[in-house]
Structure 1
Amino acid sequence: MSVRKFLLPVSSPASAHAALQTGLMLARMWSAHLHVLHIQADARDIAPFAGEGLSGALIEDMLTATEREGGARAKLLREMFEQATEEVGIPVGTAQRGRDEPSACFTSITGREEQVIAHKARLSDLTIVPHPQVGEDVASADALHAVLFDSGRPVLLAPTTPPQTIGKRVAIAWNGTANAASALASVMPFVRQAEAVRILVSDDYAKPGPNGAEVAEYISHHGVTADVARFSPINRITGAGLLAAAAAFGADLMSMGAYSTASRLRQLILGGTTRHVLENAQLPVLMNR
């Protein structure tokens, strides 16, 4: 089992840089295809929110300005993509079936962002999203949630700065849930070729289900030895303890189940492990629901 196709939705040059470097690194690592996707908002979807009491001419001007800004942003993103692929020597174009080499393409389409991303992600092995904290990109968080909740596929949260390596030291955040098991299945291609694997567990994080030792035993059937390490919350924050344990291990990739302990709305309002990791992770994080 390997990874052959990545999807990378991008919305702004400020947030795209580290995610693009991450995607190109993964494409080279797996000799896979990276599809960089920019989605421009459809002006017709914006019109109903333009506001009452505005003249038709003013609304038309607003929509024209929106389209112009979207086109300029797409041009900048395409130029960034072309420069980055040229620097690392990855061919640009459609993936060639049967060719064991990386490739990449860039497309810009018009539509409803969350819907398009979810649909495209369903036929991607892994969707990479820019870190929401880079350039305060709200669209990145929307893209991540679209993949998590409406694609049935895993998502990789890119770090805030381009990583030096990915998947040499893999940390598995384990709490016994179905979400964690789904993330484990998705990270196994990386686990099989990792130099070291550690399973991170905590009484404050655990739910009813298999324990860390059982996960290690399962991984051993794939020819990989993993150790189990316990972590504790920091200042009563489980996510902080989890990230500290991953950092202490020197992990350059972590997998975890997302929103497995509470509803998404509850975590967004009250906080939670997933939310803390989304806001504070400095390493690539693979997530599943």
Structure 2
Amino acid sequence: MKDVRKILLPMPSISNGEAALTRGYNFALRFGAHLAVLHVRPDGRDIAPLAGEGLSGAMVEDLMRTAEHESARHAHDVRALFDKFVAEHPDLVLVSGHDPIPMTGPSVSFKVVRGTEADIIPSQARLSDFTLVPHPDSGEEISSSETLHAVLFDSGRPVVMASRTPPKGLIKRVCIGWNGTAESSAALHGALAWAATAEAVRVLHCDDYQRRGPSAKEVLEYLAIHGIKADAVEFPPVDRDVGKGLLAACKDFDADMLAMGAYSHSRLRQLILGGVTRHVLEHADIAVLMSR
């Protein structure tokens, strides 16, 4: 995928929102693309069926009011952050309502939709070139992030996890984690947009990570067909941990982005036993592109 025209950025709250907006702005600037910021606002009434037995009607109504108040607060805060960011970046064309999206140059829009993230975001992602998600580092395990996993498993499109802190400049150095699987192939294809204009690209592979499929050498040949020069480096696990070794190799390369397949093993297995995907999600401090 070399031509990026639409980027979806779901923002459930302002947590790590500035970093995600900055990365989204950089992407829109780089590709002359449209950044569609989406806030899914939960409906307080949806809590009623979940309240369970043993609660009085007054208690359920109180829970609904509290949920609606929190929903309104998050929507207000996200919109305020968005407006402030757009005001600071006048080169972004703000598209409102049903106005047509410019065919050239970076543009941005903001939309609020009521419903559940797990339903709405994957649906919107299916008509986006990729989805950028804020780093889900908000006190819970990143590997359980609903937004990130909803896009990974239900959209059929790549997802990019932004870093925790606002990035400085464009992505220039790209690593591709390769293990021969269909998942890593999807990530490789998604990474072409960045690899095609990067100043350096490296394919990272490891015997303990490799599955049945093409070799790293064949990946270099494929990239060369696309006019992309890259090298391949075999990295060792660190403390017998492939994920830790992969991130260490990215750091050695001074990478701005890592592209990799997600959950070659089942998500449940990785949640229980750990795995490369889980380690990268929880410890990466660079942009990470993942595909299923």
Alignment TM-score > 0.5, same fold: yes
Give aligned pairs, total: 288
Aligned pairs for 1:19-98 within 5 A:
19-89=20-90, 90-94=92-96, 96-97=100-101
Do 1:166 and 1:284's aligned partners in 2 also have CA atoms closer than 8 Å?
Answer: no
Aligned: 1:115 with 2:126 = no
Cα deviation 1:1-36 (Å, max 9, x = unaligned): 410111111112123221121111111111111111
**Partner in structure 1 of residue 221 of structure 2:** 217
**SS in structure 2 opposite 1:133?**
coil
Deviates more, 1:35-44 or 1:128-137: 128-137
Do 2:37 and 2:110's aligned partners in 1 also have CA atoms closer than 8 Å?
Answer: yes
**Partner in structure 2 of residue 268 of structure 1:** 271
Q: Which runs of 4+ in 1 moved over 6 A?
A: 137-140
Letter in 1 for 2:129: D
| Aligned equivalents of 1:75, 1:176: Cα separation in 2 | 45
**Partner in structure 1 of residue 290 of structure 2:** 287
**SS in structure 2 opposite 1:14?**
coil
**Structure 2 counterpart of 1:254, from 258, 281, 285:** 258
**Partner in structure 2 of residue 6 of structure 1:** 7
Cα deviation 1:39-98 (Å, max 9, x = unaligned): 111223211222322221221122122112211110110010011111122122157455
Structure 2, unaligned runs of 5 or more: none
TM-score normalised by the chain length of structure 2: 0.94
**Partner in structure 2 of residue 205 of structure 1:** 209
**Partner in structure 1 of residue 159 of structure 2:** 155
| Aligned equivalents of 2:116, 2:138: Cα separation in 1 | 22
| Aligned equivalents of 1:138, 1:77: Cα separation in 2 | 21
Do 1:166 and 1:253's aligned partners in 2 also have CA atoms closer than 8 Å?
Answer: no
**SS in structure 1 opposite 2:10?**
strand
CA RMSD of aligned residues (A): 1.7
| Aligned equivalents of 1:85, 1:71: Cα separation in 2 | 21
Quote the offset at 1:222 in angstroms.
Answer: 1.1
**SS in structure 2 opposite 1:13?**
coil
TM-score normalised by the chain length of structure 1: 0.95
Cα deviation 1:108-159 (Å, max 9, x = unaligned): 1110111101100000101011112245486981111001100100000111
| Aligned equivalents of 2:142, 2:207: Cα separation in 1 | 33
| Aligned equivalents of 1:80, 1:140: Cα separation in 2 | 25
